[in-house]
Amino acid sequence: MKIISYNVNGVRSAQSKGLVEWLKSTNADVVCLQEIKANKDQIDLVSFEEAGYNYHYWFSAQKKGYSGVAILSKKEPIHVEFGTGIESMDFEGRNLRADFPECSVMSVYVPSGTNLDRLSHKLEYMDLFHDYIDQLKKTYPNLIICGDYNICHEAIDIHDPIRNQNVSGFLPEERAWFSRFLQSGFVDAFRHFNEEPHQYSWWSYRANSRANNKGWRLDYTLVSKPLEAKLKRAVILPEAVHSDHCPVLVEI
User: What fold is seen in the domain 2-251?
Assistant: Deoxyribonuclease I; Chain A (3.60.10)
pLDDT for the residue 240: 98
pLDDT in tens, 62-71: 999 999 999 9
Catalytic residue among 29, 148, 188, 219: 148
The rounded distance, in Å, linking the Cα atoms of 113 and 79 is: 32
Confidence tier at 133 by pLDDT (50, 70, 90): very high
Encoded amino acid at 136, one letter: L
What is the chain's percent helix, strand, coil content, to nearest 5?
30, 25, 40
The rounded distance, in Å, linking the Cα atoms of 229 and 214 is: 33
Percent of the chain with pLDDT over 70: 100
Helix (H, G, I), strand (E, B) or coil at 214: coil
Confidence tier at 85 by pLDDT (50, 70, 90): very high
Candidates 239, 244, 185; CA nearest to 219 is 244
Neighbours of 138 (CB within 10 A): 7
Hey, where are the domains in the chain?
A: 2-251
Q: Which residues pair with residue 216 across a beta bridge?
A: 158, 202
Average pLDDT, integer, range 91-111: 98
117 in active site: no
pLDDT for the residue 227: 98
Q: What is the DSSP letter of 154?
A: S
The rounded distance, in Å, linking the Cα atoms of 243 and 13 is: 8
